[in-house]
Amino acid sequence: MAVAEKEPASYGPTSRSGATFEARAEARQRRYRAEVLGVGHAAYGHWLDEKAARTGANFVTSGAHVAARQRDAEGKGVGQRTFTNMLASQPMAFNVFAPLATDPELAGRVLVPLIPDLRSVRSITFEHTPAPDVFRDQSALGGVDCDVFIEGTFTDGESAVIAIETKFVEKEFSRCGHRTAAKAKAGRACPDDVDVDVSRGSCLYQRINGYAYWERADEHGTLRALPAAACPFCGALWQLWVNHTLVHVEAARRGAPHARYLVCAPAKNDALLRGGTVLASFQALLTRPETAAFLSLDDVIASIAVVGSGPMGWIEGITARYAGI
């Protein structure tokens, strides 16, 4: 029986082991930190120490670091883990998309082959926070936001808004806050048989919080008739629903006829995607299923490599950290 080769001590402690996607991704980041970056780690090998985090070691280009710091200075959307945790999704979003945000022509060359009907990109912003009246859920730290927000033009010449949710190693999407154990303990959890198709007011987000998720979804006609006697958005589909609704609101407010919601994640993160069944279940609830789709992170990186331009070290960095795990 072959004996597994012992890792160098410089890789640091691991929090996961085995052959899962999450474990493989952690191993990749620990190795990259030790062998490529040559910087120190904190409690685990994929956590950067204070000096490495402060100097932007979690970002493969200086532009990505600057973009993250700028968004962090605005007070919402970016937390400390963006600078310290190499497995976090936010640094991945900045690492992959920041060079595209500063060069719309480059963004078009990369994304047009990947997003059906897209002809050109006008702008890309990070951690887009909607106006307070969109969902009435914004607070200092909470509220529905958008990881990557794109404005562009479709092949018919009309404007389009595209919202991208980025995921790296997460095993699931964010769930309804009224289904948590804490809410159940406080007697404020939604029961299993909430029939929102009959009464939107049955949703505690609407009845207790006054949030406008259902109001906006109905306003833009994004949903088909829902299954009776159970809210389909209390579990894995909640984040998909509110972000899909958000991009339709933002498109309408900009006079854009086209809205698209994309989930960008590694294709092999099957704990999140479950063989595509999560997204397929969500699409089945939409009046226009094509407005929600999967965008493979590996395909984005491959497209960037084909284009072959951008800041120094960008293609090499995102390939080494994220491709083909």
CB 2 within 8 A of CB 14: no
Tokens 């404005």 -> residue: 151
The reported pLDDT for the residue numbered 189 is 78
**What pLDDT does 182 receive?**
67
Q: Tokens 């800041």 map to which residue?
A: 311
Q: Which of 38-42, 108-112, 202-206, 263-267 has the lowest mean pLDDT?
A: 202-206
pLDDT band at 229 (very low <50, low <70, confident <90, very high): confident
In terms of DSSP bridges, do strands 258-265 and 292-296 run parallel, antiparallel, or are they unpaired? parallel
Q: Give the pLDDT band (50/70/90) at residue 280.
A: very high
At residue 118, the pLDDT reads: 98
At 212, the amino acid letter reads: A
Supply the pLDDT for residue 125: 96
For residue 305, pLDDT over 90 is answered with: yes
Query: pLDDT tens digits, residue range 39-64?
Result: 999 999 999 999 999 999 999 999 99
108-150 pLDDT, tens digit each: 999 999 999 999 999 999 999 999 999 999 987 789 999 999 9
The whole-model pTM stands at 0.94
Q: What is the pLDDT of residue 6?
A: 80
pLDDT of residue 3: 47
Query: How does pLDDT run across 49-102, given as a tens digit for each residue?
Result: 999 999 999 999 999 999 999 999 987 778 899 999 999 999 999 999 999 999
> What percent of the chain stands above pLDDT 70?
97
What confidence tier does 227 reach under pLDDT thresholds 50, 70, 90? confident
Return the pLDDT at 234.
87
Burial pattern 143-170, b for ≥16 Cβ within 10 A else e, equals bbbbbbbbbbbbeeeeebbbbbbbbbbb
